[in-house]
Amino acid sequence: GDTQGLFRAAFMQSGSPVPVGDITNGQIYYDALVSQTGCSDSSDTLACLRTVPYKVLKAAINQSPSLFSYQSLVLAWLPRADGVFLSDNPQRLVQQGKVADIPFITGDCDDEGTAFSLSTLNITTENEWKTYVKDIVLRGVPDVNLNKLASLYPQDITQGSPYDTGILNALTPQFKRMASFLGDVVFQAPRRFFLEQHSSKQKTWAFLSKRLKVLPGLGSAHGTDILNIYGGGELTDYLVRFVTNLDPNGGSNLKWPTYTTSSPKLLTFLDGVEPQVITMDTYRREAIAFVTNISLAHPI
């Protein structure tokens, strides 16, 4: 939580303490990199990697799983706890209060998981969905918890993501279910957890972008809020005021209430005649709370 005087506030888009584990979770990717660069026989593999020509190293890194690989958001190169730079898993640090004591704004797009579920379109059955969750995302999660997750994230396409699109956008029988789960475990649940842990200790504001719902298959996908902030939208005005005064309010925009656990309000951006409304951060409450607890025990 020590900023070393480098910054006085934070504005995060789709940014929260991702539920990652320690560096042992990344060992398989390091070992693969060592092998692909010809460093396996070295007595000091790290020193060997530092001597590998750029093109060779880049080619090996390009073989690592990416956002659009089968394992999707379970990335190879994540900021994992090493006991030095990160003394513990990010979510544990949040629980311990080891967070910069500064005002912050954080928010998500409504359908964070859709784009990252396109690589799992081959998953079409209940058992395949469960296997993916247990073997790829929350490795080793007990079956009793897996079955609970399956009930909280049902195959019912009307409940999946893109949300509020009924029977539309069901690219496969499991697509909207997968998109809902991945969006929650990596984006929505960590954001809500962060706010619940620290909104009583520092000034916080939160937003939800539900714009561009009409995008086929994607809805309000990851990154669809960028136009609102970098394209001269209302979010730009809020950001400028926040940077200037450490408060996003002022001017003619809708007043943005602070986020509290007793009144978890979101500034929500919509398409249509009413572009901004205040909503409550209580959607999928049971599912997101359960995902948070499971990811603390089984980080990615």
Q: pLDDT of 139-181, one tens digit each?
A: 999 999 999 999 999 999 999 999 999 999 999 999 999 999 9
Model confidence at 42: pLDDT above 80: yes
Q: What is the pLDDT of residue 5?
A: 87
Q: What is the pLDDT of residue 4?
A: 86
* Mean pLDDT, rounded, for 85-107: 93
pLDDT digits (tens, 9 = 90+) for 56-81: 999 999 999 999 999 999 999 999 99
At residue 3, the pLDDT reads 84
pLDDT at 14: 96
Closest C-alpha among 198, 167, 170, 163 to residue 184: 163
Amino acid letter at 50?
R
Q: In what order do the strands lie in the sheet with 104-109?
A: 10-13, 104-109, 204-209, 265-269, 276-280
**What are 209-228's pLDDT values in tens digits?**
999 999 999 999 999 999 99
User: Which band of pLDDT confidence, cut at 50, 70 and 90, is reported for residue 49?
Assistant: very high
10-22+89-297 CATH: 3.40.50.1820
d(CA 260, CA 249): 17
Yes or no: say if 70 and 182 are a contact pair by the CB < 8 Å rule.
no
Cβ of 106: how many Cβ atoms within 10 Å?
A: 21
Share of the chain above pLDDT 70, in %: 100
Please give the Cα distance from 73 to 212 (Å, whole number): 22
**pLDDT (0 to 100) of residue 108:** 98
The fraction of the chain above a pLDDT of 90, given in percent, is 92
Calculate the average pLDDT of the chain. Answer: 96
Average pLDDT, integer, range 29-55: 97
Domains of the chain by residue range: 10-22+89-297, 23-79
User: Does position 15 have pLDDT exceeding 90, yes or no?
Assistant: no
Residue 212 CB partners (closer than 8 Å, separation 6+): 218, 219, 220, 221, 224, 271
